[in-house]
């Protein structure tokens, strides 16, 4: 029995008190455990906390290293703490959590002070530590920003768990890479780019302290929107740094007197158009298909592409300038300028009715796509007319027919007949017609191709039919299904511009088909190489056959339907072919040099006529000549290399046989090793012609492109 003052306390009472205290402690402990368990029921596990990886953006680079686009759910670039200026680190700690290095996630001393201020004044300062803020930023759904006591307890739990797993430097680095700093920028590196167009390690103390001041209210203290408020907030940050011992008064005054130069660095988005928009979208689709949306938009990739920005600029300028001029000259009711005006007024037309165009540029040896235009405005129309849209090729398909003819014994000097022709297809009668509606009689194969004459081309169907032509286009990379009809010889069916450019590139690359590609290398955010492009090639044609087609198509540019390229900017060695379909619904040109192959398509979204004279030579060729002229001027003259085995003979252009001294129209022609003339001209007398030189073609057709 114990005495308390003059009272004697019975042992049973003491036992009762002790038991009650023990029970109260046990109950409190159990309640605390139950409460923590209840509050932690859906919080992230320790395993999840040990592998915190904030969302990182994917960056797309051009061939020269320029940034083309960024894809993200949050605009963030992770940088190590060692690259973040010490002045920025100190400023953030001073203004947001001065005792950061002393607490374990929850600052009890600061918490008591905040409670006292809330009880005794009308102010309501925040008591969250950097670690608590980080917890809220990492798990916003689990820790919503509403001011509730249960949320605060849950926040404390996560904060203490983070402190038990990571060092203070790791926590600070995560915080500085995670926080939102306005205008779509997450983390200090994105903020440095957005606000000052610099990397964070290039920032001075004046800029660093301004960024630190933005954390509390990013948009309110943004120097881009409220520079005066940003300066005032920076003064507060400097005072806290003096109090924390990071700066002397003199140092703070010097920083405070320094002006900053905010620059709107801009923020890329997931859907905006912009430079090389169709190319970038093709890259994006490829990445999402290969790596998935999560990796693309959240885990961050570094992607190097084949696009050459200067070539792309020249292509876009050439296409837009020419189509704008054609819209004006042809007095179309709907133009791109009018469409843009209506959009600005909020009256966007239901249909895209202005003139469209597409272009593609390829490195013939590597298959790299150097430039791409899928339409005049990605914002108006996402459908890529260079890669997705299938269109009738018209006469641009003829080279594949004439390639087949060469393989079947025809020669450049073979005489073809341009005379009326009717073919019973079994379903109907087919009567091919020429562009001008006239027939010119006998002409050489070279002339028929380079002047794009329809009737003699169609007559080749009677000789070797569709099967070998279809086999050739398969070898040349066409994958779209083509109709098995005689009209295919004149460009029936539908193909993509991308397929046409790949096939013509095979002519330029000595018969070797090269798989096209847009991406050269892909790395993870950590620098691991996930993909590196390899040139994929296969032999599609004999080199001699490829050279013969190149030689024939050179004549198209020298004196055929593409002769106007010479005064439109293209002056180097080149080869190519124009194409126009019925009623001028599609206009094409595809041409190449030993290094580059470029293709252009012009038409309306719906297959509507473009008007009188809207041929490939008028609508598409000028665009090609403009940008290819600039590209080849930079590259310099490149001759096409003749492979071994090609035979050269002087022939009569009237008979297609070996020329004699009596022949009045001769030319020096090239031939495949197995197919060359061996008979002397029987139309003219005299001895065998021995001199070298190119005579004049006796034909005098105009240089307009024939329609399909």
What's residue 56's pLDDT? 80
Q: Name residue 688's beta-bridge partners.
A: 660
Question: What are the backbone angles phi and psi of residue 657, rounded to the nearest 5°?
Answer: -100, 175
Residue 612: the pLDDT is 92
> Per-residue confidence at 129, pLDDT binned at 50, 70, 90?
confident
pLDDT-based confidence at 587, cuts 50/70/90?
Answer: very high
User: Which neighbouring-strand residues pair with 532?
Assistant: 521
Measure the CA–CA gap between 108 and 105, rounded to whole angstroms. 9
Task: Judge whether residue 623 has pLDDT over 60.
Answer: yes
| Residues paired with residue 513 on neighbouring β-strands, in sequence order | 538
Mean local confidence (pLDDT), 618-622: 97
Q: In the Cβ-directed half-sphere of 279, how many Cα atoms lie within 13 Å?
A: 34
Q: Are 389 and 383 in contact (CB under 8 A)?
A: yes
Q: Which residue has the higher pLDDT, 113 or 503?
A: 503
pLDDT single digits (tens) 6-22: 556 666 666 666 656 65
pTM for the model: 0.77
Degrees, nearest 5: CA angle 699-704-707: 110
Token pair of 321 as six digits: 């300038």
Homologous superfamily of domain range 394-587: DD-peptidase/beta-lactamase superfamily (3.40.710.10)
For the sheet with 58-61, list strands across it: 67-71, 58-61, 301-305, 519-524, 529-532
List the domain boundaries for the chain.
2-39, 76-256, 394-587
Of 438 and 16, the structure prediction assigns the larger pLDDT to 438
User: Residue 308's pLDDT is what?
Assistant: 97
- Backbone Cα Rg of the chain: 37
Q: Is 96 helix (H, G, I), strand (E, B) or coil?
A: helix
Q: Read off the tokens for 106.
A: 């929850």
Q: What is the pLDDT of residue 112?
A: 57
Q: Do domains 76-256 and 394-587 have the same CATH topology?
A: no
> Phi, psi (5° rounding) for residue 444?
-75, 160
Q: How confident is the model at residue 159 (pLDDT cuts 50, 70, 90)?
A: confident
pLDDT at 76 exceeding the cut of 60:
yes
Q: How far apart are CA 61 and CA 523, in angstroms?
A: 12
Largest CA distance in the chain: 155
d(CA 629, CA 433): 34
Cα dihedral sign for 65, 71, 74, 75?
A: positive
Beta partners for residue 531, in sequence order: 522
User: What is the fold, at CATH topology level, of the domain defined by 76-256?
Assistant: Penicillin binding protein transpeptidase fold (1.10.3810)
58-97 core/surface letters (b: 16 or more CB in 10 A; e: else): bbbbbbeeeebbbbbebbbbbbebeebbebbbbbbbbbbb
Question: Higher model confidence: residue 332 or residue 144?
Answer: 332
Q: CA quadruple 665, 670, 671, 677: dihedral positive or negative? A: positive
């Amino acid at each position: 029995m114990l005495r308390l003052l003059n009272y004697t306390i019975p042992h049973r009472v003491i036992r009762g008190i002790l038991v009650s205290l023990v029970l109260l402690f046990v109950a409190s402990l159990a309640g605390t455990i139950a409460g923590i368990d209840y509050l932690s029921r859906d919080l992230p596990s320790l395993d999840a906390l040990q592998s915190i990886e904030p969302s990182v953006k994917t960056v797309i680079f051009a061939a020269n290293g320029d940034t083309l686009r960024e894809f993200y759910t949050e605009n963030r670039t992770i940088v190590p703490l060692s690259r973040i200026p010490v002045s920025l680190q100190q400023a953030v700690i001073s203004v947001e959590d001065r005792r950061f290095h002393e607490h374990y996630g929850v600052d009890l001393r600061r918490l008591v002070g905040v409670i006292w201020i809330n009880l005794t004044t009308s102010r309501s300062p925040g008591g969250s530590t950097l670690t608590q803020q980080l917890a809220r930023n990492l798990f916003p759904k689990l820790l919503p920003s509403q001011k509730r006591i249960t949320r605060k307890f849950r926040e404390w739990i996560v904060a203490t768990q983070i402190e038990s797993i990571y060092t203070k430097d790791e926590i600070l680095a995560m915080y500085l890479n995670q926080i939102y700093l306005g205008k779509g920028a997450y983390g200090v590196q994105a903020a440095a780019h957005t606000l000052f167009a610099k990397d964070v390690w290039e920032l001075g103390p004046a800029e660093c302290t301004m960024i630190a001041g933005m954390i509390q209210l990013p948009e309110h203290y943004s120097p881009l929107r409220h520079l005066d408020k940003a300066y005032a907030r920076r003064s507060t940050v400097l005072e806290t740094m003096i109090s924390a011992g990071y700066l002397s008064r003199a140092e703070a005054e010097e920083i405070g007197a320094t002006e900053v130069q905010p620059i709107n660095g801009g923020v890329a988005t997931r859907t905006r158009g912009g430079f090389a928009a169709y190319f970038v979208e093709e890259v994006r689709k490829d990445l999402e298909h290969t790596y998935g949306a999560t990796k693309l938009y959240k885990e961050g990739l570094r992607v190097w592409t084949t696009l050459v920005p200067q070539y792309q600029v020249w292509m876009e300028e050439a296409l837009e300038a020419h189509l704008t001029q054609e819209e004006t000259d042809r007095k179309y009711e709907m133009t791109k300028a009018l469409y843009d005006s209506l959009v600005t007024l909020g009256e966007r037309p239901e249909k895209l009715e202005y003139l469209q165009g597409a272009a593609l540029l390829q490195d013939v040896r590597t298959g790299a796509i150097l430039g791409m235009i899928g339409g005049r405005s990605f914002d108006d129309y996402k459908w890529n007319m260079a890669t997705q849209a299938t269109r009738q090729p018209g006469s641009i398909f003829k080279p594949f027919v004439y390639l087949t003819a060469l393989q079947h014994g025809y020669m450049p000097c073979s005489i073809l007949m341009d005379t009326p022709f009717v073919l019973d297809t079994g379903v109907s009668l087919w009567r091919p017609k020429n562009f001008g509606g006239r027939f010119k009689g006998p002409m050489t194969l070279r002339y028929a191709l380079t002047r794009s004459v329809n009737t003699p081309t169609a007559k080749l169907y009677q000789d070797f039919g569709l099967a070998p032509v279809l086999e050739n286009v398969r070898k040349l990379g066409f994958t779209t299904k083509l109709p098995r009809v005689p009209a295919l010889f004149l460009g029936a069916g539908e193909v993509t511009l991308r397929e046409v450019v790949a096939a013509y590139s095979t002519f330029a690359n000595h018969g070797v088909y090269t798989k096209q590609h847009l991406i050269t290398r892909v790395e993870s955010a950590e620098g691991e190489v996930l993909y590196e492009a390899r040139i994929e090639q296969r032999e599609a044609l004999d080199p001699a056959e490829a050279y013969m087609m190149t030689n024939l198509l050179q004549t198209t540019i020298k004196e055929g339907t593409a002769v106007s390229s010479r005064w439109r900017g293209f002056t180097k060695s080149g080869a190519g072919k124009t194409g126009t379909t019925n009623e001028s619904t599609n206009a094409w040109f595809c041409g190449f040099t030993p290094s580059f192959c470029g293709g252009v398509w012009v038409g309306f979204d719906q297959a509507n006529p473009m008007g009188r004279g809207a041929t490939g030579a008028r609508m598409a060729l000028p665009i090609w000549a403009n940008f290819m002229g600039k590209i080849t001027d930079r590259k310099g003259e490149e001759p096409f290399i003749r492979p071994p085995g090609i035979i050269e003979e002087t022939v009569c252009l009237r008979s297609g046989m070996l020329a004699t001294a009596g022949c009045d129209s001769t030319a020096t022609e090239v031939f495949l090793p197995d197919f060359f003339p061996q008979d002397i001209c029987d139309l003219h007398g005299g001895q065998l012609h021995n001199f070298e030189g190119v005579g004049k073609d006796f034909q005098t057709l105009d240089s307009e492109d024939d329609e399909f």
